Amino acid sequence: MSRITNVFYISAVIAILFIIWGIIPDTVLPYWNLDNITGNIQDFLVDNFGWFYLLSATAFLVFAIYLIFSRYGNIKLGKPNDEPEYSYITWFAMLFSAGMGIGLVFWGVAEPISHFHNPPFGDPATAETAKTALQYSFFHWGLHPWAIYAILALALAFFKFRKKAPGLISAILEPLLGERVRGPLGTFIDCIAVFATVFGVATSLGFGAIQISGGLSFVYDVKQSFLIELIIIAVVTVLYLTSAVTGLNKGIKYLSNTNIVLAVLLMLFLLFVGPTIFIMKFFTTTIGTYIQNLPSMSLRMTPFNEANSDWIKNWTIFYWAWWIAWAPFVGTFIARVSRGRTIKEFVSGVLLVPTLFGALWFSVFGGTAINLEFFSGANIVEYVNDLGEETALFAVLEQFPLGTIMSVIAILLISTFFITSADSATFVLGMQTTGGSLYPANRVKIVWGLIQSGAAAVLLWQGGLNALQTASIIIAFPFSFIMIMVVISLMKAFKEEARAIELRDSRKTNRRG
């Protein structure tokens, strides 16, 4: 039976107060309304600490790669005889659906097309810029975000399944902070993790509601409005809460597998109906340039060029903050479904498989859009400028046979990703606020489901995508320091574990001798 902790009451009350603050009209609080305050905080963080986000994300990637080849690679996330609970296919489907789902569908066309017309450097709409556009899409959705997820998930799984610690962020830091993690300091750390989860997922839910609304507008000529988006959030909330109470092995598992099937079908359709040879050539060459330029992109800032500096702030720094904000949610969920895997197997799988799938996804959808503009004269960016980024995918699908049917499948895919992300998040929030229980009570999951949907609705009402992005960047800043402490604590724990294994092996050898 799960025990509701102080983290639940503190974080739930503050989250509800935040939602109430967002409901207050600007006329009542002209200078202290939610959009103004969060916007000012965001500007301060991005202007003054953008370099910190870049260095931190790169350091997390370097650490993750080190773990694959380190002497700790054969340590199991669990007892030595534990076997993985899920097959590789189901495991990849669950971590991918929780980690990237809605975002990939939303930005698959919109981001490469945006970079094509507004590149980080160079002239817009040229062949060279087309390569840069896809390269930076790979960069933003590739190794860096999955390294951030992998580190936190690895730490949670190691301490939960190997050390029998509670599945909490604070419990990971015990080797570093000692008994203090069981007092107010631990509660504070776990509350930050809860807020990062609520607002990180609210960002994704907002994107999902906007894109479903955009798809309905594009396919069925339903006029886009906040009311439509609110209705979408309400309907999907009922669906994902229904899924959440059925448990991990039913709702999330089946929906995750459904997501992967729909996503692969949609991608294969466009790959073979679209410019197949061009897409595969584009994919191959961009993988090469991505790997070749990874170090320079990872640390690229432009102190002498303010225009390019704004591009980095609006894209790369936002993304790194967004991934850090998502880390408690995705990390906790991946940890929960990864018992029995070795550290080498775990980190390699989490880093490489979603990165390659994401690269192929952007090559198919973004590459097709760029091909249509560059060779066929189709003006996909005009749809984006007139109707919003959420319509970019549907504008591309319209150019091909069965485009309307594919658009309906895309809307269904976004909806199932929406449900899976929110479903997984209610489970994670339940874990974080019941002392790390692997089976949080349904009433706790329902409360968090309603709160995160309320946060998404309020953020959309206050400022659309800008307010959603702002909330993610703000909450990621304090959590990035917690992530750094997690790395230090994890290394201390691994060294102790390696010494314990060597001692056991030495005793066995002596007994045999």
Q: Residues 330-345: pLDDT tens digits?
A: 888 888 889 999 999 9
pLDDT at 248: 52
Write the CA distances from 401 to 95, 190, 273, 394, 510, integer angstroms.
Answer: 32, 50, 8, 13, 72
**Model confidence at 73, in pLDDT bands (50, 70, 90)?**
very high
pLDDT at 97: 66
| Mean pLDDT in residue range 193-217 | 83
The answer on pLDDT for 235 being more than 80 is yes
Residues 345, 25: Cα–Cα separation, whole Å: 51
Q: What percentage of residues in the chain have a pLDDT greater than 70?
A: 94
pLDDT at 467: 65
The answer on pLDDT for 387 being more than 80 is no
Write the CA distances from 49 to 148, 246, 409, integer angstroms.
Answer: 18, 42, 41
> Which one-letter amino acid corresponds to residue 370?
I
| Mean pLDDT in residue range 221-226 | 83
Please, what is the Cα angle at 404 between 402 and 408, to 5 degrees?
115
The answer on pLDDT for 225 being more than 90 is no
> What is the DSSP secondary structure assignment for residue 438, as one 8-state letter?
S
Domains annotated on the chain, with CATH: 6-473 (1.20.1740)
Please compute, for residue 326, the number of CA atoms within 13 A of its CA located in the half-sphere on the CB side.
Answer: 34
- Of the listed ranges 159-168, 237-246, 356-365, the least confidently predicted one is 237-246
Within 8 A by CB and 6+ apart from 334, the residues are 94, 95, 98, 99, 149, 150, 153, 157, 350
**Model confidence at 512, in pLDDT bands (50, 70, 90)?**
low
> Which one-letter amino acid corresponds to residue 504?
R
- Phi/psi for 386 (5° steps) reads -85, -40
Number of Cβ within 10 Å of residue 435's Cβ equals 18
Residues 298, 319: Cα–Cα separation, whole Å: 12
- Most confident range (mean pLDDT) of 34-48, 131-145, 293-307, 421-435 is 131-145
Residues 487, 507: Cα–Cα separation, whole Å: 30
Number of Cβ within 10 Å of residue 403's Cβ equals 16
More confidently predicted of 67 and 337: 67
The answer on pLDDT for 59 being more than 90 is yes
| Mean pLDDT in residue range 423-438 | 85
The answer on pLDDT for 469 being more than 70 is no
Within 8 A by CB and 6+ apart from 339, the residues are 77, 78, 82, 84, 85, 157, 161
Residues 9, 340: Cα–Cα separation, whole Å: 33
Q: What percentage of residues in the chain have a pLDDT greater than 90?
A: 44
